[in-house]
Homo-oligomer: A and B are copies of this chain.
Amino acid sequence: MAASSRPTIHEVAKAAGVSISSVSRALNGNTSNPEMVARVKAAVKQVGYVPSAVAQSLKTQQTGQVAFAMEDIGNAAYLAMVREIQPLLREDGYRLLLHATGADVQDEIEVLESLAQKYVDGLILCPIRVTDRHLAALRSPAVPVVVIGQLPEEADVDNVRTDSRQGARLAVEHLYAAGARRIAFINGPADTVPGRLRHAGYQDGLHACGLEVDDSLVEFGGFQVSAGREAAQRLLARTQPDAVFAANDLIALGAMHAIRSAGRSIPEEIQVVGMDDTTLAETSFPPLTSVSLGSRDRGRLAADMLLARLHGETGPARRATVAPSLTVRESTREAAA
């Protein structure tokens, strides 16, 4: 904030105790809540906010569209973000377009480059691999961009992240406390940022619990249900785990299917923990214990950052981190006394 002496819409939102989109709606007359309008007007006066000329000129170029690019819309973690981002943008008059990139680097770069065609006013991007080409394309995008995911420290981009390494450690510690000693790990691709961090967190957890790292307990595959099922089949064919930590809920669903098909009970014989705490975790059988990486919070924060830029906020790149937490359900046992 030191770089900019001019008050921003962020400060108005903070002073009023409301979201940026609420400020925007109140200022644009798009709300029927008079109490909200009064609070926002008071906050505008308090911080001395003046809508910027950039914001005014942006308004005239508007397409009214914002894009959200993610790997796979079949992944409920992204769906949770969409469910949070879309209403916030809509309240502010923006329509959300989704790109499913299949984690294809070329596709993601093309999405970034196509911003120059100005078919959208802004972009929220979730890359699972971050290459030099990403960083180059992010250096001067044609419209505001917010990245959800891990970026190098030097990247000058608005960024929302989580700590999936810490989240993986939470999962292992929970399984250990519930009596598991042969804790397997079924990961997505090892060459992705989430894959690398979750693997590191799994090892952190083993160390913290005083368990040995045993590579025969680790499998890699894709981040989808079918990949999780196949990886669990390979795992069960060669070793006897008493718990499986899966790098996301889709992998966990596939693994539970393979475990049941092998005639093993969950959680009595094999406990299972997923990651992302999606709606699938609630409706699976048994309901799945899962590490929440705050997808909804990450979506909301990214939408807020982007809306601030669309309203002309300048200043240095912002960064926010959402802490992981564990939601315990019936696929794991009670912690041993």
Q: In chain B, what residue has the closest Cβ to A104?
A: B90
Q: Which residues of B contact A107 (CB under 8 A)?
A: 95
Q: Which residues of B contact A260 (CB under 8 A)?
A: 285
Q: In chain B, what residue has the closest Cβ to A284?
A: B285
Q: Which residues of B contact A279 (CB under 8 A)?
A: 74, 225
Q: How far is the CB of A229 from chain B (nearest CB, A)?
A: 8
Q: How large is the interface on A (under 10, 10 to 19, 20 to 34, 35 or more residues)?
A: 20 to 34
As for how many copies of this chain the complex holds, the number is 2
Q: Which residues of B contact A253 (CB under 8 A)?
A: 283
Q: How far is the CB of A228 from chain B (nearest CB, A)?
A: 9
Q: Mark A99-126, 1 if CB is under 8 A from B, else 0.
A: 1101000010011001001010000000
The answer to whether B67 and A73 have CB atoms under 8 Å apart is no
**Contacting residue for A76 out of B74, B98, B256, B285, CB 8 A:** B74
The answer to whether A73 and B79 have CB atoms under 8 Å apart is yes
Q: How far is the CB of A160 from chain B (nearest CB, A)?
A: 21
Q: Which residues of B contact A256 (CB under 8 A)?
A: 285
Q: Mark A62-84, 1 if CB is under 8 A from B, else 0.
A: 01110100000110100100110
Cα of A95 to Cα of B104 in the assembled complex, Å: 12
Q: Which residues of B contact A285 (CB under 8 A)?
A: 256, 260, 284-285
Q: Which residues of B contact A82 (CB under 8 A)?
A: 73, 100
**Contacting residue for A74 out of B79, B96, B119, B254, CB 8 A:** B79
Q: Does A257 contact B (CB under 8 A)?
A: yes
Cα of A64 to Cα of B113 in the assembled complex, Å: 13
Q: Which A residues contact B (CB, under 8 angstroms)? A: 63-65, 67, 73-74, 76, 79, 82-83, 86, 95-100, 102, 107, 110-111, 114, 117, 119, 225, 253-254, 256-257, 260, 279, 283-285
